Amino acid sequence: MSRLLLFNKPFGVLSQFTDRGSPTLRSTLSDFIDVKGVYPAGRLDRDSEGLLLLCDDGRLQARIADPRFKMPKTYFVQVEGDPQERDLDGLRRGVRLKDGMTLPAEVVRIDAPELWLRDPPIRQRKFIPDSWLKITIREGRNRQVRRMTAAVGLPTLRLVRWSIGAWSVAGIAPGRFEEVSSPGVGKGGTTGQ
């Protein structure tokens, strides 16, 4: 049986276990996870939060992370501005980035989701509105969601990966993880830290 951990990665944490060679000490997965033999299945940027999957099975890791399998990844995205349907339609059709066209995304405008407080908090601007989007993509380019929203004139302020496939970060506090007893079935097993 493969081991699979669902980790709620806090803002400012690197999606790796070490940070050798950095002139400043940065937080890594080893500050939160003391489970031997598991490795991240994909990445989540240091300035992004939410679900990061870790496993001990290379085949499962590839299935989760490899864009060929087009596993859906859903994000709650706080953007600067007031998105109109034309902006959202641009994301739904796909956006031209420097590394080519993205696949079409599923995008809906949502009310602010009930999330944990971010540390540090998002800076609020008195005269510039912000909005929340729920975006699902089926590929995983470097900083893709941030680049997509910027391309349609909606800079990302906060990015929270909520789910990957059937796995979700719902109910897992930032900096905590749960071990899934049977990969692909859902949450269960033990709670870490």
Q: What is the set of active-site residues?
A: 45
Distance CA 77, CA 133 (A): 5
**Residue 63, both tokens:** 């299935």
**Residues 192 and 176 sit within 8 Å (Cβ to Cβ):** yes
54-73: buried (b, 16+ CB within 10 Å) or exposed (e) per residue?
Answer: bbbbeebbebbbeeeeebeb
Q: Report strand pairing: 177-180 vs 191-192.
A: antiparallel
For the packed helices 144-151 and 85-93, what is the interaxial angle rounded to 10 degrees?
130
C-alpha distances (whole Å) from 79 to each of 98, 145, 148, 153 are 21, 11, 11, 9
Q: 157 and 75 in contact (C-beta within 8 Å)? A: no
Q: How far apart are CA 130 and CA 112, in angstroms?
A: 10
Dist CA 184 CA 155 (whole Å): 33
